Amino acid sequence: MADFDVAMSPDELPNEVLRDAIARALRRSAGRVVDTTSLALSLVVNDIDWWEIAVSAQTLIEAIRHEDEVDGLLAFDFGTGERFVVEVDVLDRQTLVAVVPADEHDETLRQLVRGWIWRSGWGNGHFPILIRSIFAGEVWLARELTMALRGEEDALSSHIETIDVVVETDSLEAMEHWDHAVMVEGDAPTAELFEWDARGDQGAFAAWLANVAVSWDDTGAPVAPEDALRLWLVCQYLALA
């Protein structure tokens, strides 16, 4: 239980007091399942919607499995400078996975998302209907998804077709994800190359790829042709969100 004791009921307390109490309770619950209806977070948290109490709550990454099944990582800010990262599964169970100090936000939050990608089944061909992330458009996320996709390219292509959203794929948005991730030496790609019909190692995109050099936008490291084809699929998938 949190080391917090008041004579008033929680609904009589100002938000800044509740934020501090919740933050202290969460620190002591690190690595445990967060159950807002139990005594694990003390009476301060019971019946309090800390999504609303928090200064901010960011969805680091979420996976839409079915209409009513969502899992992912959330980062809560209770005004203490830290970020409290909670993993939520499809049964809505919440586990506090990290308390991230203010000076470690950028790299640690990205590392947590990297770990989630590999745990979530992405690299084993278990794809959500779609994923959303505040880091969409950043090079490292596209690269991580591309590397995790190795060996599962056909599975992702089939998945996109099976969920019957190909007609909703936005070629311009897919190309935008591509442009954020890589640099191209040679003729610039056109939106037509990101149409679904351009896919595959015998498609129009692969034909264009054979005449250009591609490198990651942040490091300048070359992108092998097979990884560029995987990235094309990843960009299609990210465009669904």
Residues paired with 72 in a beta bridge = 62, 88
CA angle (159 as vertex; 129, 94 as ends), nearest 5? 30
pLDDT of residue 30: 60
pTM assigned to the model: 0.81
Structure confidence at residue 164 (pLDDT): 58
Query: pLDDT digit string (tens) for 34-65?
Result: 554 444 444 444 455 667 778 888 899 999 88
Q: Can you tell me whether residue 200 is helix, strand or coil?
A: coil
Give the whole-angstrom CA distance, residue 210 versus residue 123.
Answer: 26
* Regions of the chain where pLDDT drops below 70: 1-14, 28-50, 164-169, 241
What is the reported pLDDT for 99?
86
The reported pLDDT for the residue numbered 4 is: 38
Structure token pair of residue 59: 């969805």
User: DSSP code of 189?
Assistant: P
In one letter, which amino acid is 80? Answer: T
Q: Measured between alpha carbons, how far is 144 from 127 in angstroms, rounded to an integer?
A: 15
Within 8 A by CB and 6+ apart from 155, the residues are 125, 127
